[in-house]
């Protein structure tokens, strides 16, 4: 059975500063868990998130929705300097594609 805590976005990375692996959760950026191995770091952060969700529910706090369950339109506005806009428009014209296609490709890399 999948719990709500299982739907969050977890990541494990090495922390050179701490000399251990650190487990992180994108939706709860203030939480982390240090461990000597990556599996333990993941297990630790998942447990901390689960406990945090339970505490938030008890206190009537708003619990963040998992990124994976949110709906996205595929649109967002980005402000860039005019010279960058011109360069992108030129690249698009020279490539025979839309400015949107050029920007999407660059953001994907």
Per DSSP, the residues of 66-103 read PGGGS---S-------HHHHHHHHHHHHHHTS-HHHHH
Residues 68-96 have a mean pLDDT of 93
Q: Which pLDDT does position 3 carry in this prediction?
A: 86
Q: What is the pLDDT of residues 30-43, one digit of tens each?
A: 999 999 999 999 99
Q: Which pLDDT does position 24 carry in this prediction?
A: 98
Please indicate, yes or no, whether residues 14 and 59 belong to a single structural domain of this protein: yes
- The pTM is what? 0.75
What range defines the domain where residue 98 resides?
72-108
Please indicate, yes or no, whether residues 35 and 47 belong to a single structural domain of this protein: yes
Please indicate, yes or no, whether residues 59 and 89 belong to a single structural domain of this protein: no
CA distance 74 to 85: 20
Q: Is the dihedral of CA 98, 104, 106, 108 positive or negative?
A: negative
């Amino acid at each position: 059975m999948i719990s709500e805590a299982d739907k969050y976005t977890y990541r494990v990375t090495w922390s050179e500063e701490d000399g251990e692996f650190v487990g992180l959760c994108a939706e709860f950026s203030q939480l982390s868990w240090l461990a000597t191995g990556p599996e333990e770091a993941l297990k630790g952060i998942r447990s901390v998130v689960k406990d945090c969700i339970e505490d938030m529910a008890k206190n009537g706090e708003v619990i963040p929705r998992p990124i994976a369950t949110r709906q996205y339109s595929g649109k967002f506005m980005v402000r860039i300097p005019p010279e960058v806009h011109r360069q992108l428009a030129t690249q698009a014209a020279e490539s025979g594609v839309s400015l949107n296609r050029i920007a999407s490709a660059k953001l994907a890399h």
